[in-house]
């Protein structure tokens, strides 16, 4: 069986990841011009992406700002990764998801396939109904590299053994002013009222 990195950069994996990026792009009913531009020379773009991953020269691109409407009115500014970076992300998740999922705790909901905010809220309400009275909410931000080195990937022996799999996350984009960034954490507790 090929190592995880070889699975990530396989042509079939990158093509499947591209298709997922394309489908996700169409969810809001608008076609993103970056996705259209990438598709114009799709196979050459994927071959170039694969070569940069394989050669160790891949670097994440800067994100771009996009405004999306809020349900409550107004707009929210979000940072959107470049198409190639979304393809790499999807390819990585396709290959390592099952390995990472096995080491996550049952109450971890973020970035897990098949789990949503609604699932988290449902389980929180069930815990409240079963007698739980407090919840801790934590929001943490740090670099992808820190998360990869210290989070689920580091806990997964098969993922951690593939040094080439971790390499892109260990290299920061050149435009970061300070590396490594320091973790910042916001945490609060709240009483659960029925």
Which of 171, 148, 159, 176 is CA-nearest to residue 57?
A: 171
Taking the CA atoms of the chain, what radius of gyration do you get in angstroms? 19
Buried b (16+ CB within 10 A) or exposed e, 16-31: ebbebbbeebeeeeee
Q: How many CB atoms lie within 10 A of CB 99?
A: 17
Domain positions in the chain: 4-191
Residue 35 has pLDDT above 50, yes or no: yes
- Give pTM, 2 decimals: 0.66
Is 60 exceeded by the pLDDT of residue 171? no
Q: Return the bridge partners of 76, or none.
A: 68
Residue with tokens 């993922």: 159
What would the pLDDT profile of 38-53 be if each residue is shown by its tens digit?
A: 999 999 999 999 999 9
């Amino acid at each position: 069986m090929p190592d995880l990195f070889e699975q990530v950069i396989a042509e079939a994996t990158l093509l499947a990841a591209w298709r997922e990026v394309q489908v996700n792009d169409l969810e809001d009913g608008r076609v993103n011009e970056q996705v259209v531009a990438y598709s114009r020379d799709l196979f050459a773009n994927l071959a170039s992406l694969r070569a940069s991953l394989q050669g160790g020269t891949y670097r994440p691109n800067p994100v771009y700002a996009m405004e999306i409407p809020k349900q409550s009115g107004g707009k929210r500014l979000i940072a959107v990764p470049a198409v190639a970076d979304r393809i790499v992300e999807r390819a990585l998740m396709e290959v390592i998801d099952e390995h990472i999922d096995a080491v996550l705790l049952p109450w971890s909901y973020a970035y897990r396939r098949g789990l949503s905010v609604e699932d988290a809220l449902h389980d929180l309400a069930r815990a409240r109904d079963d007698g739980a009275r407090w919840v801790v909410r934590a929001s943490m931000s740090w670099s992808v590299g820190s998360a990869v080195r210290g989070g689920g990937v580091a806990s997964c022996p098969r993922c951690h053994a593939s040094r080439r799999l971790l390499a892109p996350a260990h290299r920061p984009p050149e435009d970061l002013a300070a590396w490594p960034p320091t973790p910042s954490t916001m945490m609060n507790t709240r009483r659960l009222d029925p």
